[in-house]
Amino acid sequence: MRNEGLGSWPARRARKTPHRTALIHHGTTYTYADLHDRTTRLAHVLRAQGVRRGDRVAYLGPNHPSYLETLFAAGTLGAVFVPLNTRLSTAELAYQIRDSGAKTLLHTGGGDQAKELSVPVTIEAEGGRYEELLATAPADPVDEAVGGDDLCLIMYTSGTTGRPKGAMLTHANLTWNAINVLVDHDLIADEVALVSAPLFHTAGLNMLTLPVLLKGGTCVLVGAFDPEATFDLVRRHGITFMFGVPTMFDLLTRQPAWPTADLSSLRILTCGGAPVPPPLIAAYQERGLTFLQGYGMTEAAPGTLFLDAEHAVSKAGSAGVPHFFSDVQVVGPDLTPVDTGETGEVVVRGPHVMPGYWGLPAETEAAFSDGWFRTGDAARVDADGYVTIVDRFKDMIISGGENIYPAEIEAALLAHPDVAECAVIGVPDEKWGEVPRAIVVPRTGAAPPPESLLASLSGQLAKYKIPKSLILAPELPRTASGKLIKSRLRATYGTAPTLDEQDSSQR
């Protein structure tokens, strides 16, 4: 086949393992032969609707086989897949449709929102009409030449500041990320993955689903993460591989079924988004399970740093070392690596890193220096090369000439049993220029005095890092995908202290 991209994956797997199960969704099973056949037919449907090489095809819906069918069908035609986040508002979705220029939208779940988006072609991608469309479409191969450097998808970054930007990812970018996962995880052909992390985010798609499909394993697609139902899914399908953020894994340990749940089939747990807290590592180790951890970003498709099971405890808190086919450095402003223990910016280079942002040449140029993608994340490297992400550089607080990273303070506060969530921002201070302030959401039922929370940080943090004020709040402002919106936090809590400032001269 002349297709070297993801669009050829169903065909490449179907020639090897046609009868093995590729996908399971709500009790329906799709073999690799099915996936290949349905993908090919969908490509013909899209072509009949006018989709051509380079056109953008959007998809809106929770995890569903038609998500992957659309991704592969678009790839078969050399078209570009644009996955949309179901948690966004109609206005936000409309922006991404407009910005990407998608003229075709596949969606699940009725389509009321799809109608409001006024896309020329909308296709309901589940149920009887979709099946009929596929059944009546031709099944002959689509012979379109697609290369590794052709665009595969545009994925919008969640945009905690300003407009979301569309990260352009090529077929090669996604392929090399899947290869990096194969090198770092011991994936086997019999892998059964539970895909409850949303496929419209980079991690659920690229750290879990695509590597498993590359190996010929099975993906069990679940529309939404349900901690109680998870145990039953693990047992029933013999799940071997799960991916989630720490919150998901933490929720599982808080279920009544946790102590007795049968987890014997699980081999690989991958955790992304944030370092796994040591108590959570311990809870799973008691069950014989060790986390693989990682750090990445949409722009790097996403795997960048990886912490293997062997170092989960000895390097707890670190994001690990670079994936095999990736280069990562922590650099100063002049782009040369900082010394061990010093803080610098994480930059990344490799075949998995995007060529740029869709339609944003100036932002693209600003995002790269000398071929390195600048993550904007501050980090330190230890003597063994293990990278610990400290914080976003732009969230850094400069207080009396000292750099303070909110994430470090947040991690210390989260260790307090009464703290459910927290965030630290900088607020103006006459003497120090800026000082840290904590906003804390207490655990349900807890009402910790702010003073005691701050007192708990003594000895844990240098004096200048301890917040000079602390505000209790019912919740924190977050984006649709759950990321903290620090700008809104600053607007709400940045100027109006509710706790008397402590003597800020005692530092």
Q: Closest distance between a copy of itself and the C-beta of residue 142, in Å?
A: 15
At which residue do the structure tokens 């994480």 appear?
A: 346
Distance, CA of 235 to chain centre: 26
Residue among 1, 31, 38 nearest 17 (CA) = 31
Tell which one of 65, 198, 204, 322 touches a copy of itself (CB under 8 A): 322
Q: How far is CA 463 from the centre of its chain?
A: 34
Minimum CB distance to a copy of itself smaller for 171 or for 468: 171
* Minimal distance, residue 347 CB to a copy of itself, in Å: 13
Site string for a copy of itself, 175-214 (x = CB under 8 A): ----x--xxx-xxxxx-----------------------x
Residue closer to a copy of itself by CB (options 128, 371) is: 371
**C-beta of 8: minimal distance to a copy of itself in Å?**
9
- Burial string for 106-145 (b: 16+ CB within 10 Å, else e) reads bbbbebebbeebebeebbbbbeeebeebbeebeeeebebe
Residues in CB range of 428: below 8 A, 6 or more apart: 434, 495
Q: Which of the stretches 39-47, 218-226, 320-328, 426-434 binds a copy of itself when contact is defined by CB under 8 A?
A: 320-328
Nearer to a copy of itself, 295 or 357 (CB): 295
Q: What are phi and psi of 500, to 5 degrees?
A: -55, 135
Residues 438-457 binding a copy of itself (CB under 8 A) are none
Task: Supply the minimum distance, in Å, between the C-beta of residue 377 and a copy of itself.
Answer: 19
Q: Residue 215 CB, nearest distance to a copy of itself (Å)?
A: 6
> What angle is formed at CA 313 by the lines to CA 312 and CA 315, rounded to 5 degrees?
75
Tokens 């409850």 -> residue: 196
Which 343-372 residues touch a copy of itself, going by CB under 8 A?
A: 351
Cβ 229 to a copy of itself, closest distance in Å? Answer: 30
Q: Tell me if 220 contacts a copy of itself by CB under 8 A.
A: no
DSSP-H helix ranges across 78-221 = 90-100, 112-116, 128-136, 171-184, 202-203, 210-215
- Kindly state whether residue 324 participates in binding a copy of itself, applying the rule CB under 8 A: yes
Contact status, residue 347 vs residue 369, Cβ threshold 8 Å? yes
Tell me the DSSP string of 6-25.
GGGHHHHHHTT-TTSEEEEE
Coil, strand, or helix at residue 193?
Answer: strand
Q: Are 212 and 205 in contact, with CB atoms under 8 Å apart?
A: no
By beta-carbon proximity to a copy of itself, the closer residue of 13 and 64 is 13
Instruction: State the binding string over 381-410 for a copy of itself (x if CB under 8 A, else -).
Output: ---xx-------------------------
Binding residue (CB under 8 A) for a copy of itself from 308, 363, 418, 429: 308
Task: Quote the tokens at residue 265.
Answer: 């089939």
Q: Considering the complex, state which of residue 32 and residue 231 has its C-beta at the smaller distance from a copy of itself.
A: 32
Q: Which stretch binds a copy of itself (CB under 8 A): 319-327, 336-344, 413-421, 456-464?
A: 319-327
Residues in touch with a copy of itself (CB under 8 A): 1, 4, 12-13, 15-16, 18, 179, 182-184, 186-190, 214-215, 308, 321-322, 324-325, 327, 351, 384-385
